């Protein structure tokens, strides 16, 4: 065996393929022809059920709909298989702790590309979190600590509170911000400080453990090399080629994209500062879009959007693999999935992943997956697909030159524009940041890429409002 073959044995494999290019179909056909044992892991329950139906009697499905204890039943099946193929969800796969059970299985992970999770929990119950939900705290540096989750409880209220942290159990490592637990002496007693009631938690999977266990794992995804999983450690992966379906007309030539914000990015801050903007966009779409269309929005705005977009069909922003909307030629994306500044900093420090990497892998990839629920799934079709998004950056991410701005006057009151006679808009800290950034712009002759801008901002741990302020200086 050559050195190259040996090296590939110690790597993950991946298959690249556009949405709707029959990646999953080809894998299922291969599984049916072969005599090997296969484990198929999929991110969506609906996809898993579709795959199991295609595989038929040679496949065993284990989900929360088939058993009350998925983890136990998966382990029992792997110890004593009754079928040649097992299909489970991403969550069930992450809960397999005895990796020796997977040694003789060929594992295919279909559109499973997330290896970390970031959550923010706002609470004043610091004692409960510190003393009753976690133990064995270890300070890693001045900013972050880790701990061991407590899994059994005698107090029902504490048990309910622990549900907010259950996601940690899926991952191998996690970090929390130290300042949430900081204390002070008050009236002779040690008490928790009240200047930080926001607990930021980032958890991630140690993917190296699967290589160390010698597992045969192949990832299947569109633009896998732009996923956070790949970018965190590209040297762990090697590509496997597969003959897939080709489009009669490229996606870029079939799209006609409209956007509403030419200067501002669509973020949670923008929604808060401009509460009427999204309803105004939704009303325009409801009044001007004819024929059937499907749409999405963030969970926090879903109810409001559904009251306005009565002619549209709502689907989740994470809609990978759905085939029910192939007859639709209009898609409306009213969601934002941009990371918080804290997540940007934590990902950069732990994995070398930039804020723009996060936006690309999360928002732009989900947007691309979303529009590919439409007639774009018909590779022989040449029909034009009309897409509405919120901001210019989202529109440009789709890779077509056929983009058009609809001006609804949503940026007239932009906070990025300094109002005459109101220099006090910028506080002392903002002025210092603006001066440093102005020097950076001058030294760069104002030729600053998105990645350079992101690195400059994350290095200084800026707030989202400050980042938006600096974006205004680049225009």
Q: What is the mean pLDDT of residues 46-54?
A: 91
118 contacts 125 by C-beta, under 8 angstroms:
no
The CA distance from 90 to 117, in Å, is 13
Position 424 confidence tier, pLDDT thresholds 50, 70, 90: very low
167 contacts 173 by C-beta, under 8 angstroms:
no
Q: Answer yes or no: is pLDDT of 438 > 90.
A: no
Q: Answer yes or no: is pLDDT of 201 > 70.
A: yes
What is the 8-class DSSP label of residue 17?
-
Q: Answer yes or no: is pLDDT of 427 > 80.
A: no
The CA distance from 240 to 115, in Å, is 21
Chain centroid to CA 324: how far? 23
172 contacts 107 by C-beta, under 8 angstroms:
no
Q: Answer yes or no: is pLDDT of 426 > 60.
A: no
Q: What is the mean pLDDT of residues 19-24?
A: 90
Name which of 365, 310, 379 is nearest 335 in CA terms. 365
pLDDT digits (tens, 9 = 90+) for 163-184: 988 888 889 898 999 999 999 9
| H helix or E strand, kind and range, residue 85 | strand 85-89
20 contacts 247 by C-beta, under 8 angstroms:
no
Q: Give the whole-number percent of the chain exceeding pLDDT 70.
A: 93
What 3-state class would DSSP assign to 248?
A: coil
CA dihedral 243, 245, 249, 250 (to 10 degrees): -60
399: left (phi over 0), alpha (psi -120 to 50) or beta: left
Q: Give the whole-number percent of the chain exceeding pLDDT 90.
A: 64
**Two structure tokens written together for 299:** 């969970």
The CA distance from 82 to 90, in Å, is 21
User: Exposure of 153 by Cβ count < 10 A (0-12 exposed, 13-18 middle, 19+ buried)?
Assistant: middle
Chain centroid to CA 81: how far? 33
Q: Answer yes or no: is pLDDT of 425 > 60.
A: no
320 contacts 47 by C-beta, under 8 angstroms:
yes
User: Exposure of 470 by Cβ count < 10 A (0-12 exposed, 13-18 middle, 19+ buried)?
Assistant: buried
The CA distance from 389 to 395, in Å, is 6
Residues written for the chain: 475
Alpha-carbon separation of residue 357 from 227, 232, 429, 454 (angstroms): 8, 10, 28, 10
CA dihedral 41, 47, 50, 54 (to 10 degrees): -40
Tell me, what's the pLDDT at 353?
86
Position 420 confidence tier, pLDDT thresholds 50, 70, 90: very low
What is the average pLDDT value for the chain, to the nearest integer? 88
339 contacts 355 by C-beta, under 8 angstroms:
yes
Tell me, what's the pLDDT at 468?
75
Name which of 89, 95, 94, 96 is nearest 111 in CA terms. 89
Q: What is the mean pLDDT of residues 201-224?
A: 93
Residue whose tokens read 């896998």: 224
Alpha-carbon separation of residue 78 from 36, 45, 110 (angstroms): 14, 20, 20
Note the helical H segments in 224-276: 228-232, 251-254, 268-273
Alpha-carbon separation of residue 292 from 184, 304, 312 (angstroms): 60, 20, 6
């Amino acid at each position: 065996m050559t050195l190259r073959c040996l090296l590939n044995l110690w790597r993950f494999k991946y298959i690249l393929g556009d949405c709707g290019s029959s990646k999953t179909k080809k894998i299922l056909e291969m599984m049916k022809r072969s005599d090997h044992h296969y484990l198929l892991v999929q991110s969506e329950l609906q996809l898993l059920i579709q795959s199991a139906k295609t595989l038929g009697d040679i496949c065993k499905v284990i989900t929360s709909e088939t058993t009350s204890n998925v983890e136990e039943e998966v382990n029992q099946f792997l110890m004593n298989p009754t079928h040649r193929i097992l299909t489970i969800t991403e969550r069930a796969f992450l809960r397999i702790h005895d990796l020796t059970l997977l040694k003789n299985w060929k594992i295919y992970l279909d559109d499973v590309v997330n290896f970390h999770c970031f959550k923010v929990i706002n609470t004043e119950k610091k004692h409960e979190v510190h003393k009753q939900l976690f133990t064995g705290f270890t300070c890693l540096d001045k900013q972050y600590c880790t701990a061991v989750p407590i899994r059994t409880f005698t107090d029902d209220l504490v048990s309910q509170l622990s549900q907010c942290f259950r996601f940690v159990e899926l991952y191998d490592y996690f970090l929390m911000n130290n300042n949430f637990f900081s204390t002070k002496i008050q009236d002779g007693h040690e008490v928790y400080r009240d200047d930080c009631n926001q607990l930021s938690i980032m958890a991630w999977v140690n993917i190296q453990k699967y290589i160390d266990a010698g597992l045969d794992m192949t990832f299947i995804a569109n633009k896998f090399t732009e996923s956070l999983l790949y970018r965190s450690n590209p040297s762990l992966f090697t590509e496997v080629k597969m003959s897939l379906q080709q489009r009669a007309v490229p996606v870029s030539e079939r799209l006609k994209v409209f956007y509403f914000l030419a200067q501002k990015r669509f973020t949670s801050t923008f929604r808060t500062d401009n509460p009427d903007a999204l309803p105004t966009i939704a009303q325009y779409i409801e009044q001007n879009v004819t024929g059937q269309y499907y749409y999405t929005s963030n969970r926090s705005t879903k109810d409001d959007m559904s009251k306005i977009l009565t002619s549209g069909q709502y689907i989740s922003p994470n809609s990978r693999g759905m085939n029910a909307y192939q007859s639709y030629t209009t898609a409306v994306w009213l969601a934002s999935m941009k990371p918080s500044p804290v997540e940007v900093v934590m990902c950069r420090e732990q994995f070398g992943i930039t804020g723009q990497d996060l936006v690309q892998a999360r928002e732009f990839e989900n947007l691309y997956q979303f529009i590919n629920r439409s007639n774009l799934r018909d590779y022989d079709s040449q029909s034009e697909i009309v897409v509405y998004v919120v901001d210019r950056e989202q529109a440009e991410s789709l890779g077509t030159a056929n983009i058009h701005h609809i001006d609804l006057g949503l940026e007239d009151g932009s906070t990025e524009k300094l109002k005459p006679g109101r220099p006090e808009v910028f506080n002392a800290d903002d002025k210092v940041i603006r001066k440093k950034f102005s020097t950076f712009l001058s030294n760069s002759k104002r030729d600053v890429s998105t990645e350079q801008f992101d690195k400059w901002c994350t290095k200084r741990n800026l707030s989202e409002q400050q980042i938006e302020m600096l974006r205004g200086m680049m225009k």
